[in-house]
Amino acid sequence: MNAAAPHSSPAAIELIALTKRYAQGSPAVDSINLRITSGSYCCLLGPSGCGKSTTLRMMAGHESVTSGDILLDNRNIPNLPAADRGTAMMFQSFALFPHLSALDNVAFSLKMKGMGKAERLSRARDLLDRVAMSALAGRKPAELSGGQQQRVALARALITQPRVLLLDEPLSALDPFLRIQMRAELRRWQKELGLTFIHVTHSQEEAMALGDTMVVMNHGLIEQVGSPHEVYNRPASEFVARFMGGHNVLNTPAGKIGVRTDHMQLTPAGQAAPEGPHNQRAVVTDVEYQGTYVLLGLQKPGASQSAHATAELSVMVSESAFAVRPYSLGEAVQLSWAPEAAHPLQAQRCAPVTATA
């Protein structure tokens, strides 16, 4: 095996009643239970303040644990120093030393451990080659692009041969085009290395593109765990449906339901059937051209119907269908959906859940 390669059998992390409580206020992380499958790419997703970054920092050893356990390879690690846990952290800012070359940045942790210069530089060169940065080994961070700095940061994290790589919003500092490119590279590296990647993000698109599994968090709790397909198509709660986007949350006689915006049909009010269990009246308040489709924002009758009103509902209409029958602001319409397109939604989670990612 190459000296720079990671451990051959990556471990799963298990969180048991993990809690982080500060001096005042509600817990930042509230007794969550989660088992992350070995060798998977897991994305922790949620709005700012939901507890996802705090959870990651507790795994890394950069944040103390109030109560609960973190098991890596069935070893409880909360009381271990960060360097002895078998995890490595890749930070949002990359945190490269500005005065060191890319090569010396990657080799730095081995220098701190007392490894000889020849060996540590050899291992650092191997990893820079793995991330296609060997030609730029002598450059300092200021002489590298954002994507190149990210590759150096990844190589530096991997040189300690971690069992689990923790990534704290690693793409947020990049421009949109580079962000998409680096998503593909992160996914490829994870598959090639066979490591467990745990990636924190606030971007739904990023989590769906990268994750084998998504863990959606809110107010320190886990709302839902599942594959991107499962979470997007069958959000478990009203919060997940609204946060993931692409869904309408509706109150019907049968209860609260979610329906995907592209699974709803739109009919001019004059041609519509009476309102029933699978259709509702609305008024168009927004029309947004999105290229392959037009997104219509809608308000229920009786709500503010000005052109600047916040849409309660939305419907995706294909560009070709909208060209044949366009809709205009203020027009009365009727939404309808097939019964099988709807699924029930729970209220926000109010108790810890045990979940496997």
Q: What is the pTM of this model?
A: 0.85
249-344 folds as OB fold (Dihydrolipoamide Acetyltransferase, E2P) (2.40.50)
Q: CATH says 13-238 is which class?
A: alpha beta
Query: Where exactly are the structural domains of the chain?
Result: 13-238, 249-344
Neighbour order of strands in the sheet with 87-90: 87-90, 164-168, 196-201, 41-45, 213-218, 221-226
pLDDT digits (tens, 9 = 90+) for 318-333: 999 999 999 999 999 9
> Is the pLDDT score of 147 beyond 90?
no
Q: Report the SS3 class of residue 77.
A: coil
> What pLDDT does residue 356 have?
61
Same topology, domains 13-238 and 249-344? Answer is: no
Closest listed residue to residue 70, CA positions, set 83, 55, 84: 55
What average pLDDT does range 237-251 have in this prediction?
92
State the pLDDT at residue 201. Answer: 94
What is the distance between the alpha carbons of residues 22 and 224, in angstroms, rounded to a whole number?
A: 24
Residue found under tokens 């997007």? 232
pLDDT tens, residue by residue, 57-81:
999 999 999 999 999 988 999 999 9
